[in-house]
Homo-oligomer: A and B are copies of this chain.
Amino acid sequence: MGKKNKQFVEKITAMEDDFAQWYTDVVKQADLVDYGQVRGTMIIKPYGYAIWENIKNELDRMFKETGHTNVAFPLFIPESLLQKEKDHVEGFAPEVAWVTHGGEEELTERIAVRPTSEVLFCDYYSNNIHSYRDLPKLYNQWGNVVRWEKTTRPFLRSSEFHWQEGHTAHATDEEATEETNRMLETYAKLVEEYLAVPVLKGRKTDKEKFAGAKFTLTIEALMHDGKALQSGTSHHFGTGFAEAFDINYLDKDGKSQFVHQTSWGLSTRIMGALIMVHGDNRGLVVPPKIAPTQAMIVPIAQHKEGVLDKAYELRDKLAKVARVDIDGSDKMPGWKFNEYEMKGIPVRVEMGPKDIEKEQVVLVRRDTGEKEFVPVAEVETRLVELLDEVQSNLYQRALDHRNEMTTVAKDMDEFKEKIEEGGFIKAMWCGDVSCEESIKEETTATSRCIPYEEEKVADTCVCCGKKAKELVYWARAY
């Protein structure tokens, strides 16, 4: 074990020593991402993309089950169109990449590479919605957007990122509210059930809501280092965009009404959550439900007669119940163990001459390192069970961690002390943005959400001591 651990130390920084460096090392060593040549852009490599593809496929299925259809809107937005909604343009203009030339020709109007597509959908809706019969519009698009960020990190904050953005239009405020809630629940389901990451669900404060939204719902996850990561947001626009873009329809009584809109997005940022919630000092840990390879077969002493044949037989057998791969290359088993631990493959299956003799295989869990010997006749059943156990354990472990790292603060002294330990702080707030701002200034913590489930841990605002309005989860965040 001594030697093996040393190899890891060489490969990746221990998370206790430098969490940021550990993250960068894992991203690189697990073959998820490489850096693009333009500042802050990333190359998502085959393994990273395969994980994202699995996330995408599950989410896309959920969207379709709830009546949404995919579309593809343009990458380009004329500057004048972007400026139509005041709050929105103020929020995004500082981060826009501008196209000014097409071939040799200088453009008469600058073109924004979309930082998000609200204005494109609004423009379309204003031309295509006429009657209550045209509603609701439940559109989603998978694509790339660009935000010219000052400091960037793979997945967490990149100049270009991949995501889906849903844009819907409804006849009534209630329907839009239902949709906003439904999509947040969809995100929560994806992230909790598939990524095994527990989330807090709640509403953003006005300061933290989306530029142009009436309100924003969010799911917030806690990373291993005690920092929060916003993992998906769902916005209710009310009629703000509809008024700016003149999106109206004739209701059943022939009266003109503005539509009520929502938008919601989940991006490759979620890959950051995956890494920082489940990863350890051996590398990535991928939850079975989204793992491109759920079990990797490593033949032992494969040069011995019959071992490889048996291992491939096992592969064919297990491929019927799980996503299984085999490494029959001439690399040493030790190298293979390290490699697939680094990649976070949930289960390793070992099979050598002794195992063949005993008609057994060895299953090794990535999450706990536990090893078990399973009769060949039972391996299909056991593997499926074990994958479920790994999935549940990852979720439970992350939930325990979050619970341990969630504390209460009743005044700023307590707040400042506890924020140094990381995690979520539950504290009452008066609702005044100036308190929110001074908390951020004094502690660098931000309000993460006002939870769905109301709670009361004190009567007065943690910051100003005046009467509290509601409980807020605070944390330092990515």
Contacts and interface: CB of A to CB of B under 8 A. Distances in A.
Interface string A92-133: 011111111111110000110100000010011001100000
Nearest to A43: B73
Nearest to A329: B133
A116 to B, nearest CB: 15
Interface centre among A81, A102, A123, A128 (most CB of B within 10 A): A102
Contacts of A81: 37
- Chain A contact residues (Cβ within 8 angstroms of B): what range? 35 or more
Interface in A1-50: 34, 36-38, 41-46, 49-50
Contact of A148 (B94, B103, B124): B103
A221 interface: no
A72 B49 CA distance: 7
A46 B139 CA distance: 8
A338 to B, nearest CB: 17
A71 B45 contact: yes
B162 A72 contact: yes
A13 B120 CA distance: 29
A69 B49 CA distance: 9
A144 interface: yes
A128 B160 CA distance: 22
A254 interface: no
A113 B148 CA distance: 14
Interface string A254-293: 0000000000000000000000000000000000000000
Contacts of A74: 36-38, 41-43, 160
A78 interface: yes
A78 B148 CA distance: 15
Contacts of A128: 34
12 contacts: A37-B120, A42-B74, A43-B71, A46-B70, A50-B70, A72-B162, A94-B104, A96-B102, A97-B99, A101-B110, A102-B159, A144-B144
- The 5 A-B pairs at the shortest CB distance, nearest first, are namely A102-B148, A41-B74, A46-B69, A36-B74, A44-B72
Given A44-B71, A46-B69, A72-B162, 7 more contacts: A36-B73, A41-B74, A43-B120, A76-B146, A95-B103, A96-B102, A96-B103
